[in-house]
Structure 1
Amino acid sequence: MSSNFIFLKEEFPILANIAETAELNIYSDPITALFKLRQFGEKYVHILFDEHGLELPRESTFHNCLKELEYDGVLPERVKDLLFTIKNKGNDAVHGNKGTSEDAKTILFSAFNIAKWLCETYSIKSIDLSDIKFTPPVNIDTQKELLTLEASYKELEDKFNKLQAERKTEGITEERANEINIRKKKATAKIEMSEAETRELIDAQLQQAE
């Protein structure tokens, strides 16, 4: 099965691995799929801290990282809301064992949207992913592909953790910040949301307001 996240492999391989693992678990194990998508979100926000040369919060939970990125103006409203939705649905899966294949497909689409936004905003190459459209996963036997992804994950995580340990936290140049802002606005304007995803966003916003 061809993954919706192939475009991540060159510059963000660990995100590609996690997202594809979620994709392959959609039907056979939606709880695991939602857990992996939450993990995708956790790695994603760490990448954003790295891209902006920001220091992680002392308690670098997913929630605290999101609030810090929101405070620093890194996240557009739409991307922030999608990340909170991914976090909340992942929490429901991990702590409440709640989640269906339909839930997982909706959150996978959210991950797809923010993955495109990440690449269009921060990729070394200034790329346009407008022609890449989301294809709902098909229900097939994915065991062999999952084993391959699992085998490569440890190496990817080791590399990711090494880069995180060496990351700089002195901020970025004004020129780079301006470039990011220009690309960010263009990428944010292209985010598409399904009806189910919109409902999830409303729920996430209500939870944040509580």
Structure 2
Amino acid sequence: MGSANFGFLATHDVRLVTFGGWAERYFRDDPPTAIVKLRQFAELMAKLIAARHAVYRDERETFEETLRRLSYDRIIPKKIADLFHLLRKAGNAAVHEAEGDHANALTALKVARSLGVWFHQTYGRQPTFNPGPFVPPSELVDATASLQEEIEALRCKIAESEAAIETARREAEEQIQVRETLE
């Protein structure tokens, strides 16, 4: 899975690129899922940082515990810890409450990108690394016009059906009158 915003992280761990790419892909159709993928991105990054500093415990340690330890040991600056926590909390809300709209997902994408740049500058030993501008996910498609056309077509079909029903009702009444007259 390629990514315009996260591709530079492949030198560290291809899973970072994969999670970022999935978040970009889900952005348009499923913002909560995009946010969940970014939470996974942030959790993996926190584990990679802990491992680089030989403080990674194991899979049973929660994301919050890892972040708390990285902050307490001053391995990550407070500003970076705050970005991690933002993605953790947004991801939890997306997972447990299905919360997250396009605005939240876009913010999460930008935050994750900022974390990725910081990570690459810090652990790739490239303090002047410039990834270029953030590339927004594809634009949302405004379906209003096509939906209006579809609604109008359905209204026409309903009107045609109602007219056919009315014609059939009149013909049935005429048949009844003809029958009564003949009797």
- Is TM > 0.5 for Structure 1 vs Structure 2? yes
Residue 59 of structure 1: how far off its partner (Å): 4.5
Paired with 1:8 and 1:55, the residues of 2 have a C-alpha distance of: 20
- Counterpart in the other structure of 1:67: 68
Paired with 1:65 and 1:44, the residues of 2 have a C-alpha distance of: 11
- Counterpart in the other structure of 1:48: 49
Give 1 or 2 for the bigger CA radius of gyration: 2
Q: Structure 1 residue 96 and structure 2 residue 80: aligned?
A: no
* Cα shift readout 1:99-130 (whole Å, capped 9, x = no counterpart): 0011001011000001000011011x536323
Deviating above 6 A after TM superposition, structure 1's stretches of 4 or more consecutive aligned residues are none
Structure 2: state its 5+ residue gaps.
142-183
- Counterpart in the other structure of 1:5: 6
2:47 corresponds to which letter in structure 1?
A: H
Normalising by structure 1, we get a TM-score of 0.62
Percent identity for Structure 1 against Structure 2:
31
* Cα shift readout 1:153-180 (whole Å, capped 9, x = no counterpart): xxxxxxxxxxxxxxxxxxxxxxxxxxxx
- Counterpart in the other structure of 1:135: 135
Taking a change above 3 Å as real, the CA distance of residues 69 and 106 of structure 1, as seen in their structure-2 partners, is same
Normalising by structure 2, we get a TM-score of 0.71
Q: Structure 1 residue 78 and structure 2 residue 79: aligned?
A: yes
- Counterpart in the other structure of 1:15: 16
Taking a change above 3 Å as real, the CA distance of residues 54 and 121 of structure 1, as seen in their structure-2 partners, is same
Paired with 2:96 and 2:15, the residues of 1 have a C-alpha distance of: 24
Higher RCO, 1 vs 2 (CA within 8 Å, ≥6 residues apart): 1
Paired with 2:71 and 2:127, the residues of 1 have a C-alpha distance of: 25
Paired with 2:7 and 2:58, the residues of 1 have a C-alpha distance of: 31
- Counterpart in the other structure of 1:126: 126
Taking a change above 3 Å as real, the CA distance of residues 131 and 34 of structure 1, as seen in their structure-2 partners, is closer
Taking a change above 3 Å as real, the CA distance of residues 49 and 131 of structure 1, as seen in their structure-2 partners, is closer
Structure 1: state its 5+ residue gaps.
142-210
